[in-house]
């Protein structure tokens, strides 16, 4: 019984939140949309700059792990 009540309340809260967020975005001025687009563009540019560094570090860890296994077997 409690599970069905909990599910119903969860669904109701999700529906209310969905309706509230849809109406909130409809009332935003165009300047805010443009600003958010600029922020998104800057974030994607930063991710593009960081991605090669992350891959190099990850590759280094993989190479060290392989070398460690080979040295331990010899």
Comparing 25-34, 42-51, 63-72, the range with the smallest average pLDDT is 25-34
* 69 vs 29, more confident: 69
pLDDT at 48 over 60: yes
pLDDT category at 6 given cuts 50, 70, 90 is low
pLDDT category at 67 given cuts 50, 70, 90 is very high
Mean residue pLDDT across the chain: 80
71 CB burial (10 A radius; 0-12, 13-18, 19+)? exposed
């Amino acid at each position: 019984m409690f599970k069905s009540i909990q599910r119903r309340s969860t669904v109701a809260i999700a529906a209310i939140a969905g309706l509230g967020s849809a109406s909130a975005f409809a009332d935003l001025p165009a300047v805010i949309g443009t600003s958010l687009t600029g922020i998104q563009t800057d974030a994607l540019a930063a991710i593009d700059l960081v991605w090669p560094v992350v891959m190099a570090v990850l590759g280094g860890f993989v190479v060290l792990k392989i070398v460690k296994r080979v040295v331990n077997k010899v």
